[in-house]
Structures are given as C-alpha cells and as structure tokens.
Amino acid sequence: MKKLVVLLTMMVLFALTACGSGSTDTGAESGGAAGETSSEGASSEETFTIKIGHVLDENYHYQDGANHFKELVEERSDGRIIVDVHANSTLGNERDMLEGMQMGTVEMGIISSGPMAGFVPEFALLDLGYLFDSSEIAQEVLTGPIGEQLNEKMLDVGIRRLATIDAGFRNIYASKPIQTVEDLQGLKIRTLETPAHLELFQELGAAPTPMAYSELYTGLQQGVVDAAENVPEAFYSSQHFEVSKVYSETQHVYLTMMYLISEDFYNQLPADLQEIVAEAAAEAAEYHNGVIAEVKADIYQSLEESGVEIVQVDDLTPFIEGAKASWVKIAESVPNGDALLADILEATGNTLE
C-alpha cells in the first residue's frame, strides 16, 4: 500500500490535461546545444541538454519512465547529454509541448495521441472506440506499417516518435454496473472533448458531458454527471472511487502514449548520440510498461479493499457494433481517412459490417 501511495499520490489524468488549457509557460530557456558549434556540424565534444516533459504528477509512472530515460542517456553519453525531467505541465500542456518541439523550446515529451491529431489529423483514428481488441493488437498496429506511415507524417511537422508506451484501456465508472449498451442510455458521462470520444458515446446512446477534471469529483458527488471514464490508475489516484463505487471494464478506448522528440533537435545530435537517445527511449518505454503492469495489479487490490466493485463485461460485441458508426464519421473528417481506416481494420481483423 505504501508503494502504491508513493507511485500514485496526487496524480492528474494525462488525457484531460492534454485537452485542457494546461500551463502555457514553457519554463526555462531553450535547451539544445551548450557550447561552441562547429561550422562542420556538431562536434564530438559538444554537450546538449534535453528537457523532457509530461503533464502528470512526479509520483506518477510517467516520471518513472522519464527518470529511467535520463539515467540511461546521461550514463551512455558520458555527460555529453544532460536530461532535465519536467512534470506537472511545467513545460505546458501536451499541445504546448508539441508546439515547443516545433519551435525549438522543448526537446522531448511524453505525449498522447489526442493532441497529436491537431498536428497530424490521421492520429484521430487512434482514439476511435473499440478499434483495438487488445493491447497487443494496438501495439502491432502502432509499431507496424501503419505506425511507420504515421511516423513519416509526424516528421513532416517536425516531430519524431522514438517509442510507444502500452498504457492500456479506459473504462467506465459510475454508481451502477455498465454491462450492456442499454445501461448507457441517457447516462450523463464525463468525457474528453476529443471528437472520437464524443462521437463514440453519442452513438452508444449516452450523453457525453465534457467537464474539467478538477471539477469531476464534485460533479460525481453532486450528480452533475452520472459517470466518468478513465484508466484504473487515474480512477484510483483521483479518489473518484469514493463517489463512484463500480468500475466496469468496458475497455472502450486504447490509450496511446509516446516518447516524442523535436526533429530539429534530433538532427543537431551527432550520429552516436542519436543512437543513444533512440535506444534509451525504447528501453525506457519497456521499463515504463513494467511499472504500469505492477501498479495496476496493486490498484485493483486496493480498489476492492476500498469497497469498489470491479465488473467484467461479459460481451463487448454490442458495444463494438454500436461504435462503428463513429468510426465512419471520424474517418470522413480526416484526410484520406477512409483508406487509413480500411488499413487499420485489415490489420486488426475488424470490419465495418
């Protein structure tokens, strides 16, 4: 329990912060090269600073992953790269950090797919409800040919993806179990303002209600909303289990999180440092995945000890079928979205029929 508290105290959900206002202060001066720059390009003696940011608390697992990245890079570069980790949106919200990577004021960030869609519209398809049947399938898509296509589009806007985290699925919590689509009818559920999420719950018959995350505890307590949805870590750390005693594993949206770097900054690095940074990010993501798995196991035990009912949904098929209309609507709003959706469905084994 003590370990769980250390890992999760005062956590704020990433996805809301990504879509909310967040801090617009990008913090200290720009990182990048420190010292003389050779006219022939980066010297082997040149030193660099990487500011890597995320929007959550220092005790959340994003900090664990970022700290592991810092340790690997600083050790392997023999001090040629210094990594400064910034939690709590001190470099801004996720959109701010993405803009900072383009402008050269932020080197790296741990970022979700939601705000990325504002720069590469095709990323909106990754937030579709019930698109992925499992984390394994999601990771296969994200690291396969479709993921490579998205990587190329990210490079076009000055951002490089180094690694992807398996952050799992969002689930619904309320005062009652959600086991069928009928249970959602008219349900006022707090959602993100992400178009794919809004379309999903509208198609399923719920009443999606965007609300500031900081207001959600009171909103649930006073009945302003009937339900909300999130990954288990956020449900627990926000203490929403005190006012919503049923956590139903609807697994409706896969949470895509990525280690991203400014392409301009990456190209300033000598080849050996590029390799160190890329390999460290991949290893940090794997380490990060292990931390998430460990934390989730502890969370479910703690939730049950706190009187929360964990509900397994016996048949997700009606939810999946109900979500498909939202797939079409979102795809139509994205350049070449129909073709990309068809490729994703082929890769996942899903169909629109």
In order along its 353 residues, the chain shows pLDDT tens digits of: 444 444 444 343 334 444 443 333 333 333 455 443 333 445 557 999 999 999 887 878 889 999 999 999 999 999 999 999 999 889 998 899 999 999 999 999 999 888 899 899 999 999 999 999 999 999 999 999 999 999 999 999 999 999 999 999 999 999 999 999 999 999 999 998 889 999 999 999 999 999 887 799 999 999 999 999 999 988 988 899 999 999 999 999 999 999 999 999 999 999 999 999 999 999 999 999 998 888 888 999 999 999 999 999 999 999 999 999 999 999 999 999 999 999 999 999 999 98
Question: Do the beta carbons of residue 70 and residue 53 sit within 8 Å?
Answer: no
The whole-number pLDDT of residue 102 equals 98
The confidence score (pLDDT) of residue 274 equals 98
| Residue 345 burial (10 A CB sphere; 0-12, 13-18, 19+) | middle
Query: Read out DSSP for 67-96?
Result: HHHHHHHHHHTTTSEEEEEE-TTTT-SHHH
**Residue 152 pLDDT:** 97
- CB-based contact 69:36 (threshold 8 Å): no
- pTM, rounded to two decimals: 0.81
Residue 272: predicted pLDDT: 97
Minimal CA–CA distance to 236: which of 6, 16, 9, 20?
Answer: 9
Residue 151 corresponds to which tokens in the numbers above?
């990587």
The helix/strand/coil state of 253 is strand
Query: Which pLDDT belongs to residue 31?
Result: 43
Question: What is the Cα–Cα distance from 179 to 201, expressed in whole angstroms?
Answer: 15
Q: Rounded distance, CA 259 to CA 253, Å?
A: 20
Task: Write down the pLDDT at residue 43.
Answer: 53
CA 105 – CA 97 distance, rounded (Å): 8
For residue 272, what are its two tokens? 């050996």
Q: What is the pLDDT, as a whole number, of residue 60?
A: 80
What is the pLDDT, as a whole number, of residue 194? 86
What DSSP assignment string belongs to 136-157?
HHHHHHHHSHHHHHHHHHHHHT
What are the structural domains, with CATH classification, of the chain?
2-348 (3.40.190.170)
